[in-house]
């Protein structure tokens, strides 16, 4: 290996380790990789920021904006409203919900499609007296499967198409991904509906045993015993309030003290702070009748809304939320103390310390209290995905058909070649603004800037891998290790390796790293690179083994009451099935 090859390889390995570690956000890691490449001289300084003007970056940003416009128009909500009558049978319930999100994910951001269907899934599960865990993981997996069926379904597909344009002069078109992706998605959907949900642990599948958001034992909040409370000087063992099935004391602390377990012979004192589990509506009654104070929403620093505008809403913390690794005080400051934390639910982990000492994690579910006029914007600013069904504005529902026609027209212009697809999408965005489907402010709010920064930073690094000859060296090393294996075995290997990487690092970063390596392998074998690029596209969209591999998986972890190890139970056989289906389909559709 030459010095530049060794340098870029070390930088890439450090980057992949930082991606997998997850301590620092992926856009920060990508910028670190780019800067190190420039400093080391393997990325030309003049080319360092050319990635931000790349067609793939513009297309990803445009798709995110269009996804929000379709959401505002009520496209998915209208479709979802027809699902309730079909949830009586468990198979039809799972199939109908997952099919809608799968189809929606083919044409809009898959996380956005999942977020729209999340309240519908939870509500219909409760109506059918089923555990939400039965439908939420299938829903998340369906959103990932749908993304692989079209060019705009997921950022990796856009990256792969753009990379093909660089090496062959022509990108993959809008529906080039459909021949393989659609078959994989249909087979995956059938597996999820008929078999996959049965592989979840029994306690998650049981309505009585599942630890979901809506089980009263899973909400945690804090109350303080006031001096006038009837509980003062009474034993916890004699208290009817805390010996019922609806309220349970987890830990207790004095003001500014650490929480600790409460013995059954403990006598309550004024100033005690109790961390309790319970139903918020029942808690309110307990607080009012026993001289208690709900600390999080009754704090003097909290700006109380008008009575007719009070609202309590649940939300899941997304991966890119500014709340991650922050405390309750950060939430108060960010919302100018107009939003109060009432409770927190964290799947797979028991919280036994004061809420003010907690650091929020992606996937946590927060129960917050605030003003109905501003809470939606607060959720957006905080990266919270609401779990309560939000009413649709009637003026936006009426624009479902016009919005769909504009979107279809943009795709038709791009496919027909009148303009490039990014330009066609920008035209559609302009029309949506004129139609008042989306505001100018929403355009900037809805772009996932960390993903844009990641793409813009990693594209020059990917080019450096090629310009230094590192991709050819890696390809030759792989061929030496696998000497004698047929090209189809190498194709399957590329697919499996890409799948593995996408389970631990961002899927866009996976595509950027694996695309040049796959092409180098194909070139060394003397076969067409199209099948190998498509294998990378499919593999990058198959993050089914962990809750951290894809944001869709993270979003359902809290509401579904899933543990980290639950995902591979359904995800591993699904990935094996996808390999078995995708490899022969790739050979048929994209012959070597």
Q: Do 161 and 234 reside in the same domain of the chain?
A: no
Q: Do 35 and 109 reside in the same domain of the chain?
A: yes
Residue 503 and residue 545 in contact, taking contact as beta carbons nearer than 8 Å: yes
245: in domain: yes
Q: Do 486 and 518 reside in the same domain of the chain?
A: yes
Give the Cα separation of 493 and 491 in Å (integer).
Answer: 5
Q: Region 401-427: what's the mean pLDDT?
A: 87
141: in domain: yes
Domain boundary pick from 267, 298, 329: 298
Domain boundary pick from 386, 416, 435: 386
329: in domain: yes
Average pLDDT, the chain: 80
392: in domain: no
Complete DSSP assignment for 375-392: HHHHHHHHTEEE-SPPPP
**Beta strands 247-253 and 220-225, pairing class:** unpaired
Q: Do 23 and 172 reside in the same domain of the chain?
A: yes
Q: Do 25 and 167 reside in the same domain of the chain?
A: yes
pLDDT of residue 10: 92
pLDDT for 486-511, tens place per residue?
899 999 999 999 998 888 777 888 88
Q: Do 263 and 349 reside in the same domain of the chain?
A: no
pLDDT for 136-151, tens place per residue?
899 999 999 998 999 8
418: in domain: no
What is the percentage of the chain residues whose pLDDT exceeds 70? 84
Q: Do 135 and 80 reside in the same domain of the chain?
A: yes
Burial status of residue 137 (CB atoms within 10 A of its CB: 0-12, 13-18, 19 or more): buried
- Residue 200 DSSP symbol: S
Stretch (H or E) spanning 278: strand 273-278
96: in domain: yes
pLDDT class for 356, splitting at 50, 70, 90? Answer: low
pLDDT for 251-302, tens place per residue?
776 655 555 666 767 788 888 877 776 655 566 667 767 777 766 544 444 5
pLDDT class for 57, splitting at 50, 70, 90? Answer: confident
Q: Do 151 and 16 reside in the same domain of the chain?
A: yes
Supply the range of the domain harboring residue 316: 307-386
Kindly report the number of other CB atoms within 10 A of residue 276's CB atom.
Answer: 21
Q: Region 301-329: what's the mean pLDDT?
A: 73
Q: Do 194 and 318 reside in the same domain of the chain?
A: no
Q: Do 201 and 220 reside in the same domain of the chain?
A: no
φ/ψ of residue 515, rounded to 5: -60, -55
Total domains present in the chain: 3
In this structure, what CATH number is given to the domain that contains residue 229? 3.30.70.1450
Domain boundary pick from 278, 298, 318: 298
Residue 138 and residue 196 in contact, taking contact as beta carbons nearer than 8 Å: yes
Range picked from 96-100, 245-249, 262-266, 351-355 for highest mean pLDDT: 96-100
Residue 586 has pLDDT above 90, yes or no: yes
pLDDT class for 212, splitting at 50, 70, 90? Answer: very low
Q: Do 170 and 221 reside in the same domain of the chain?
A: no
pLDDT for 7-33, tens place per residue?
988 998 898 888 777 778 888 988 999
Query: What's the CA dihedral at 385, 390, 394, 400 to 10 degrees?
Result: 40
Question: Does this model's pTM top 0.95?
Answer: no
Range picked from 81-85, 440-444, 454-458 for highest mean pLDDT: 454-458
- Please give the span between the terminal C-alpha atoms of the chain, in angstroms, as a whole number: 29
Q: Regarding predicted confidence, which is higher, 551 or 575? A: 575
Q: Regarding predicted confidence, which is higher, 182 or 477? A: 182
pLDDT of residue 470: 86
429: in domain: no
Three-state DSSP state, 260 = strand
pLDDT class for 248, splitting at 50, 70, 90? Answer: low
Give the Cα separation of 104 and 108 in Å (integer).
Answer: 6
244: in domain: yes
**Helical H segments across 217-327, by residue range:** 280-289, 295-298
Q: Do 311 and 449 reside in the same domain of the chain?
A: no
pLDDT of residue 301: 47
């Amino acid at each position: 290996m030459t010095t530049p090859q060794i340098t870029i390889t070390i930088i890439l390995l450090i980057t992949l380790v930082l991606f997998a570690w997850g301590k620092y956000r992926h856009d920060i890691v990508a910028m670190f990789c780019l800067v190190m490449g420039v400093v080391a001289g393997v990325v030309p300084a003049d080319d360092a920021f050319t990635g931000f003007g790349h067609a793939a970056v513009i297309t990803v940003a445009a798709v995110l904006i269009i996804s929000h416009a379709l959401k505002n128009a009520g496209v998915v909500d209208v479709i979802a409203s027809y699902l309730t009558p079909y949830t009586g049978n468990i198979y039809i319930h799972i199939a109908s919900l997952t099919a809608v999100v799968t189809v929606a994910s083919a044409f809009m951001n898959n996380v956005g499609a999942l977020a729209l269907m999340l309240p519908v899934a939870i509500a219909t599960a409760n109506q059918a007296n089923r555990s939400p865990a039965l439908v939420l993981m299938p829903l998340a997996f369906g959103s990932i499967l749908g993304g692989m069926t079209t060019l705009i379904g997921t950022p990796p597909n856009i990256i792969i198409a753009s990379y093909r344009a660089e090496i062959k002069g022509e990108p993959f078109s809008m529906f080039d991904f459909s021949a393989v992706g659609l078959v994989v998605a249909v087979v995956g959907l059938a597996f999820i509906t008929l078999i996959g949900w049965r592989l979840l642990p029994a306690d998650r599948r049981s309505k009585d045993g599942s630890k979901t958001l809506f089980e009263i034992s899973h909400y945690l909040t804090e109350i303080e015993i006031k001096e006038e409370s009837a509980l003062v000087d009474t034993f916890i063992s004699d208290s009817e309030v805390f010996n019922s099935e609806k309220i349970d004391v987890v830990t207790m602390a004095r003001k500014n003290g650490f929480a600790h377990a409460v013995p059954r012979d403990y006598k309550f004192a004024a100033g005690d702070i109790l961390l309790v589990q319970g139903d918020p509506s029942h808690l309110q009654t307990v607080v009012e009748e026993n001289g208690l104070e709900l600390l999080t929403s009754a704090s003097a620093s909290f700006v109380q809304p008008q009575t007719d505008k009070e609202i309590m809403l649940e939300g899941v913390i997304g991966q890119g939320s500014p709340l991650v690794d922050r405390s309750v005080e950060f939430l108060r400051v960010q919302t100018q103390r107009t939003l109060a934390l009432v409770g927190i639910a964290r799947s797979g982990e028991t919280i036994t310390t004061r809420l003010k000492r907690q650091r929020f994690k992606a996937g946590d579910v927060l129960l917050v209290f605030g003003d109905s006029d501003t809470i939606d914007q607060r959720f957006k600013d905080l990266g919270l995905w609401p779990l309560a069904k939000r009413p649709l504005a009637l003026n936006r529902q009426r624009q479902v058909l016009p919005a769909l026609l504009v979107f279809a027209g943009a795709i038709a212009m791009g496919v027909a070649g009148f303009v490039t697809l990014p330009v066609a999408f920008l035209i559609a965005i302009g029309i949506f603004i004129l139609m008042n489907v989306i505001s100018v402010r929403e355009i900037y709010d809805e772009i996932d800037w960390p993903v844009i920064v990641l793409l813009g930073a990693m594209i020059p690094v990917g080019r450096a891998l090629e310009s230094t000859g590192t991709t050819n060296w890696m390809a030759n090393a792989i061929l030496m290790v696998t000497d004698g294996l047929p090209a189809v075995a190498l194709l399957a290997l590329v697919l499996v390796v890409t799948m593995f990487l996408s389970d631990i690092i961002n899927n866009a970063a996976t595509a950027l790293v694996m695309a040049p390596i796959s092409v180098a392998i194909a070139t060394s074998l003397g076969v067409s690179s199209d099948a190998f690029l498509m294998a990378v596209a499919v593999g990058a969209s198959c993050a089914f083994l962990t809750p951290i591999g894809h944001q869709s998986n993270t979003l359902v972890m809290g509401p579904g009451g899933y543990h980290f190890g639950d995902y591979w139970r359904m995800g591993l056989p699904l990935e094996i099935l996808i390999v078995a289906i995708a490899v022969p389909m790739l050979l048929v559709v994209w012959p070597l």
